[in-house]
Structure 1
Amino acid sequence: MTQSKELYDVTIIGGGPAGMYAAFYSGMRDMKTKLIEAKEELGGTMLIYPEKMIWDVGGVTPILCRQLIAQLAQQARTFDPTLVFGQQIVGLDRLEDGTFLLTAESGETHWTKTVILTIGYGILKMSKLEIEGADRYEVSNLHYTVQELEPFRGKHVLISGGGDSAVDWANELEPLAASVTIVHRREQFGGHEKNVVRMRQSTVNVRTPYAVTQLHSKDGKAINQVTISQVESGETETLDVDAVIVNHGLKSDCGAIREWGLDIGVRRVKVSSKLATNIPGVFAAGDFVDYESKLYLIAGAFTDAAFAVNSAKLYMEPKADEVAYVSSHNSKFREKNLALGVREEDA
């Protein structure tokens, strides 16, 4: 195992939207940057729903999530940060000179002056369908994520769940599937109000309050029928299906980061208005943070990231500018603009 004691100004832990934008913005601040991602690719939680349409990012027309990931990843690489994949950071130690030593679960080590945590929901695991033997169908037609829409064309699809993902998939699949039935154990759905209204006004068969209670298979390999039960009366009904999608939410775990001494609640870390944690030199951004007026949107993650980077810069250099110059006046973009064929007087 090769170890390098190269010291970075900032190390970003987590490669979701907050982490990717932090990598870009730290380049604007002329900081030597490293980003460490536990998976083998950038995207974070967004990788769970690559085929969803994203509508609420400012200045971006409706875009497939996988395309937005690609654009964010390209932007993150603008100033050539060091990207490290496949390492889950478990250890944080402050050294005598005030810098930090980060240790990965696999033993790799990293040295940095500041840290920005952009781990989102931490280690994510899908909440599985709690029916005995359900796992045998995960290789055929029981799905916990949807990577592509086309395989569901012309199929009879049943969705179990009532949150954003369940509602979104019902709306996305309704135009191309033969039928879509959504089963939820409560009358009310937890998705965005506009999307819920759209679903209820479509051809989606909404069954509430119901729960999936049995899976049936003619050949033991794929589900062909599902029994649903009325939560209050216990009355049952069996439906023919070609595919079952389960969206029962995600179980999250911060892992060893909980042992660092951070002020962490059930799932999120408490931060100041400047995105500083209770450990000097450690900042956080994105869905992992909790503060008054926090906006849990991708757009909010970008603002968090910029605040966290600026705070990290000032932590190292108290006399530095509080923020980066905007790109239209930032000298770091002069050569990049010329490479794009933009005249300096137009930039």
Structure 2
Amino acid sequence: MTEMFDVTIIGGGPAGLYSAFYSGLRGMKTKLIESQRKLGGKVLLYPEKMIWDVGGQPPVPGHTFVKQLVDQALTFEPTVCLDTKVEYVEKTADKHFLITTNHGEIHETKSIILAVGGGIIHPKRLDCPGAEKFEGETLHYTVPSLKLFYQKTVVVSGGGNGAIDWAVELLDIAKHVIVVYRQGDFPAHEAQVELLRKRNATILLNSTIETLIPHNHRNKIKQVVVKNVVSEETNAIDTDHLIVSHGFDREDSLQFASSIQLRKKDEYFYEASPTCSTSEPGIFAAGDIINYDGKVYLLVGAFQDAINAVNSAKQYIDPLAEKIAMVSSHNEKFREKNKQLLETELKL
């Protein structure tokens, strides 16, 4: 017989991690299922990007922010299943749920919080012959360390927020930044585009990368051949590194719930209430996967969703429960932890 949990959170990004913390705060027996091998979600793709827009949190790089989120999520020792993909969800006669995973395991839970964000994401690969042999050496889909590009010539392919953000980050690090984009103007945030234009970056619009030329037959890029799609002229550009930011291919991470009509036809989002309830009683959602009037698609919005989803799940399994948890400064659950932290601080 499987072990019953009060709530199972599907997705280990910011919304899922904060849901795990808050459900523990509410005394719920919690399980978190994540399809990737690490917790952190999409923030893992940007380990050195600075995060500024979380209230009360000083500017912090993505890798540090993820560690803090994970540490907080594990405060009340939830059960965590990594590298586990949910394949099917069904509702039982007693209004509980059975979750089947790719490992053939069945997880039983009284409620579910969907926090799958943009789904299981994979960077879109560069459509150039032989591009894969340069990956990890001089062709990059994520940026593991900005130090790699110090005083180097870097070509950034793409014009969305991700590409332009990386280009701006590199302006004070790289020797030269060249941005190649297939359209006539950037769709990225106006302020970032303006900053890019004011600096010494080279901008090639209406252009695509056609060919990668290796350096001395090694797996390093020496030049990228860029084609102007209007004039059809080509130009070989010397470069040390190429960053490709063309967006992500997204798996249909909601397919497991296709038998439970949770979303509007032809839309990716789940339609939810402001309290993060979906159309299926017992299934709640948080973060970028849901849409409702007034929804905020920022980290702070994911945290608010997490709180609302947990509170809704708590009342679903216990209608007599309080609507919200007691604030942390007065919460009995933190009394001993606060004592330990104070003792540590005094010793310092």
2:180 and 2:53 map into 1 onto residues whose CA distance is 27
1:139 and 1:248 map into 2 onto residues whose CA distance is 17
2:13 and 2:233 map into 1 onto residues whose CA distance is 43
1:297 and 1:78 map into 2 onto residues whose CA distance is 23
Q: Give the corresponding residue for 2:144.
A: 147
Deviation track 1:45-94 (CA, whole Å, cap 9, x = no partner) reads 11111111111111111110000000000110111111111110111111
How many pairs align? Answer: 339
Post-superposition shift, 1:222?
A: 1.9
Q: Give the corresponding residue for 2:248.
A: 250
Which structure 1 residue ranges, 5 or more long, are not aligned? 343-347
Q: Give the corresponding residue for 1:138.
A: 135
What residue identity is the alignment partner of 1:307? N
1:213 and 1:290 map into 2 onto residues whose CA distance is 38
Deviation track 1:226-252 (CA, whole Å, cap 9, x = no partner) reads 111222222222210111110000111
What residue identity is the alignment partner of 1:275? C
2:215 and 2:29 map into 1 onto residues whose CA distance is 59
1:189 and 1:111 map into 2 onto residues whose CA distance is 47
What residue identity is the alignment partner of 1:11? T
Instruction: Provide the aligned C-alpha RMSD in A.
Output: 1.5
Q: How does 1:1-347 map to 2 (within 5 A)?
A: 5-220=2-217, 221-255=219-253, 256-261=255-260, 262-263=262-263, 265-341=266-342
Q: Is the 8 A contact 2:88 2:257 kept in 1?
A: no
Post-superposition shift, 1:136?
A: 2.1
Post-superposition shift, 1:116?
A: 0.2
What residue identity is the alignment partner of 1:247? S
1:154 and 1:57 map into 2 onto residues whose CA distance is 31
Post-superposition shift, 1:23?
A: 0.5
1:90 is paired with a residue whose SS is: strand
1:286 is paired with a residue whose SS is: coil
Deviation track 1:136-165 (CA, whole Å, cap 9, x = no partner) reads 221431111111111111211100001111
1:47 is paired with a residue whose SS is: helix
Comparing 329-338 with 241-250, greater Cα deviation is found at: 329-338
What residue identity is the alignment partner of 1:84? C
1:251 is paired with a residue whose SS is: strand
2:306 is paired with a residue whose SS is: helix
2:187 and 2:49 map into 1 onto residues whose CA distance is 17
2:121 is paired with a residue whose SS is: strand
Give TM-score, length-normalised by structure 2: 0.93
Which structure 2 residue ranges, 5 or more long, are not aligned? 344-348
2:188 and 2:111 map into 1 onto residues whose CA distance is 37
1:339 is paired with a residue whose SS is: helix
1:95 and 1:258 map into 2 onto residues whose CA distance is 14
Query: Percent sequence identity over matched residues?
Result: 45
Q: Is the 8 A contact 2:35 2:120 kept in 1?
A: no
Q: Is the 8 A contact 1:40 1:85 kept in 2?
A: yes
2:24 and 2:251 map into 1 onto residues whose CA distance is 30
Post-superposition shift, 1:304?
A: 0.6
Q: Give the corresponding residue for 2:346.
A: none
2:259 and 2:249 map into 1 onto residues whose CA distance is 21
1:213 and 1:281 map into 2 onto residues whose CA distance is 50
2:342 is paired with a residue whose SS is: coil
Post-superposition shift, 1:195?
A: 2.0
Post-superposition shift, 1:258?
A: 4.9
1:153 and 1:79 map into 2 onto residues whose CA distance is 42
2:111 is paired with a residue whose SS is: strand
